[in-house]
Amino acid sequence: MQNLLVTGGCGYIGSHTALLLLEKGYTVYIIDSNCNSNPFVINKLKKIIMKKDKQLAKNLIFFKGDLRKKKDIERIFEYSKHNNKIIEAVVHLAGFKSVNESMKYPLMYWDSNLIGTINLLKVMQKYLCYNLIFSSSATIYSCLENKLIDENFPIKPINPYGNTKRCIETLLEDIYKSEKAKWKIINLRYFNPIGAHHSGDIGEDPNGIPNNLFPLILQVASSKLRELKIFGNNWDTRDGTCIRDYIHILDLANAHIAAFEYLSKTKSQIINFNIGTGKGTSVLELINTFKNVNKIKLPYSFTSRREGDQKYIVADNSRALSTLNWKPLKSLEDMCRDGWKWQLKNPNGYIDN
């Protein structure tokens, strides 16, 4: 397999994944509505890849389109067919991702995440493309203990965003069962990707005030926000703040390459992988590492717990380590250093460029 479609390829995870795929010599089609991204990222990707090899930049083909419109997806598959570079596999990342927003606007989340996926699957079937890597999330797990989460942990999301991810996984299970000989499906359950490409040329560029901790840290560090609000200091953890499994965005992006290479040589199946480092870091530990590595102040204060939060979400990543040709290589220090480099180089995200 040589030609892939990355849905949501202008976004945070999509842009880093597309870059690594291009570096490996694959043809990468991207479809993105840019509802939470800037199309300028395509120029950035071309610029980075051209430094390596001018020819590779030609392998990046961008279509602006919305997965909620089936025609938009058909257009790109049709194009790939006409150009004799038919899409053979899809990395499906397009969707909304904020837990808080999903609690305010559940319909918007169900519409984009579910309808978008249903349309994509219909078009994939029409064009006989049966290879899929889906961006699922650790938010589908219900974790009440301070225990590593493996793929067999109970699935019990506690917010609409997590519900859409669980529902899509169920849909994929059904699709697989209906044509077992054809489909190869991998659900990658991401933990907490942070940081940026080491060049500092691409990174996370959220619209408005971000919801996730790391982009908030970047905004406080660059004085866009006065201080960081930490939700709760009375959790049953080593320092009272929540513990998460932070993974460098390039390690996460690399998991897609490994998953794709696994799909290419394996028999039809559906399989889930946790993509995390297996190491838990508390909010205070992340803040302190960021401060020390980048020699910068980060004012913070504590506020009450946030609805829908869980105290401890850390991956047991042993299935991914033993099955995929992959392991996370970067440290928490690398994540903090590379994320800050992106922020310094692009203080207003992609808008300035």
Ligand X SMILES: NC(=O)c1ccc[n+]([C@@H]2O[C@H](COP(=O)([O-])OP(=O)(O)OC[C@H]3O[C@@H](n4cnc5c(N)ncnc54)[C@H](O)[C@@H]3O)[C@@H](O)[C@H]2O)c1
Residues acting as catalytic residues: 161
Sign of CA dihedral 106, 109, 113, 119: positive
Minimum CB distance to ligand X smaller for 31 or for 324: 31
User: Does 112 contact ligand X by CB under 6 A?
Assistant: yes
Segment near ligand X (CB under 6 A), from 32-40, 46-54, 150-158, 235-243? 32-40
User: Does 13 contact ligand X by CB under 6 A?
Assistant: yes
Segment near ligand X (CB under 6 A), from 29-37, 74-82, 145-153, 239-247? 29-37
Measured between alpha carbons, how far is 109 from 56 in angstroms, rounded to an integer? Answer: 35
Minimum CB distance to ligand X smaller for 100 or for 268: 100
Closest distance to ligand X from the beta carbon of 13 (Å): 3
Cβ proximity of 208 and 197 under 8 Å = no
Closest distance to ligand X from the beta carbon of 194 (Å): 8
Measured between alpha carbons, how far is 244 from 237 in angstroms, rounded to an integer? Answer: 11
User: Does 35 contact ligand X by CB under 6 A?
Assistant: yes
User: Does 345 contact ligand X by CB under 6 A?
Assistant: no
Alpha helix (H) residue ranges in the chain: 12-23, 41-52, 70-82, 99-104, 106-109, 116-126, 160-178, 213-221, 249-265, 283-294, 318-323, 332-345
Query: Among all residues, whose Cβ is closest to ligand X?
Result: 11
249 CB-near residues (< 8 Å, 6+ apart): 12, 13, 16, 193, 194, 195, 196, 197, 203, 204, 335
Amino acid residing at 19 = L
User: Does 94 contact ligand X by CB under 6 A?
Assistant: yes
Measured between alpha carbons, how far is 24 from 322 in angstroms, rounded to an integer? Answer: 22
The distance from CA 200 to its chain's CA centroid, rounded to whole angstroms, is 18
User: Does 66 contact ligand X by CB under 6 A?
Assistant: yes
Which residues, numbered 168-227, are part of the site for ligand X (CB under 6 A)? 190, 192-193
User: Does 37 contact ligand X by CB under 6 A?
Assistant: yes
H or E stretch including 231?
strand 228-231
Give the one residue of 46, 47, 68, 198 binding ligand X; rule: CB under 6 A.
68
Cβ proximity of 90 and 148 under 8 Å = no
Give the one residue of 6, 67, 247, 259 binding ligand X; rule: CB under 6 A.
67
Give the HSE-up count for residue 209: Cα atoms under 13 Å, Cβ half-sphere. Answer: 9
Cβ proximity of 188 and 136 under 8 Å = yes
Which residues, numbered 275-294, are part of the site for ligand X (CB under 6 A)? none
User: Does 124 contact ligand X by CB under 6 A?
Assistant: no
Give the one residue of 5, 10, 99, 140 binding ligand X; rule: CB under 6 A.
10
Give the one residue of 3, 6, 8, 151 binding ligand X; rule: CB under 6 A.
8
User: Does 36 contact ligand X by CB under 6 A?
Assistant: yes
Total site size for ligand X, rule CB under 6 A: 27
Give the angle 254-259-260 at the CA atoms, nearest 5°.
100
Minimum CB distance to ligand X smaller for 28 or for 93: 93
Minimum CB distance to ligand X smaller for 95 or for 278: 95
Query: Rule CB under 6 A: which residues touch ligand X?
Result: 8, 10-14, 31-37, 66-68, 93-95, 97, 112, 116, 135, 137, 190, 192-193
